[in-house]
Amino acid sequence: MRYLYILLIVAVAGASCKKTLEEHPESIAAENFYKKPAEVEAGLNAIYTPLRDGGGLGALYQTQLECYADYFYGRGSHAVLNTYSGLDNTNISRVAGMWNLFYLSIRNANIMVQKIPLASAVGDADKARYLAEARFLRALNYFYLVRNWAGVPIRTEANMDSINVKRSAAGGCVCAGRERSVVCRVESAGCGQAGGGSFEVVGQNGAGGGLFVAGPV
């Protein structure tokens, strides 16, 4: 019986030393990614993630605004909105979260605007389509930012690494134009700097419709 126990101990000890899992972690540098269509599409999907977040357009954004309407009744932590009592700590945090989500989506869009032209395994037609999608989503984020905060810091692929970006003039980052050229001249009153300015076209709303434009060229 003693020998049987010894054999069992040896068997258990041998089994515990057996390699059951071998891991080979790998890290992918950004310089080596965004080369193939699937990789570019993964990057584009990352632009949508903050937009769909429940703390933003996914749910809370609409509630935060509709509580001010006369047909809406805010209760609980939203009651201060319904009574026009300003923002308490809870709602300040919510609004700050929305700001962060919009700029996170913009950051992801800027990365794609920067990386898509370098995608070696993507054709020119697909590059143009992917780039248009990234730019449109960036403009959509600025559209919501300007509606709620007026002038905001304009972050593009050119100043992604800048820590302090000054706030733009009110209405200076998202306007509507009619031109189909790459650079749109915005002259409408209250849109951008006095006397108009040049803005990058980042998306088009239908055939012959207005253009979403973001950021001075």
Question: What is the per-residue DSSP string for 98-165?
Answer: HHHHHHHHHHHHHHHHHHGGG-TTS-HHHHHHHHHHHHHHHHHHHHHHHHHHSS-B---TTSTT-S--
Residue 165 is classified by DSSP as -
pLDDT for residue 20 = 66
Backbone angles phi, psi at 167, to 5 degrees: -70, 135
pLDDT for residue 43 = 93
* Torsion angle defined by CA atoms of residues 58, 115, 128 and 169, in that order, rounded to the nearest 10 degrees: 60
pLDDT for residue 159 = 86
CATH fold label, 30-216: 1.25.40
List, run by run, the mean pLDDT of 10-residue segments along the chain (217 residues): 62 59 71 87 95 91 85 80 84 91 94 92 92 91 86 85 79 41 34 40 41 42
Strand partners, 216: 199
Domain edges within the chain: 30-216
Strands 175-177 and 197-204: unpaired
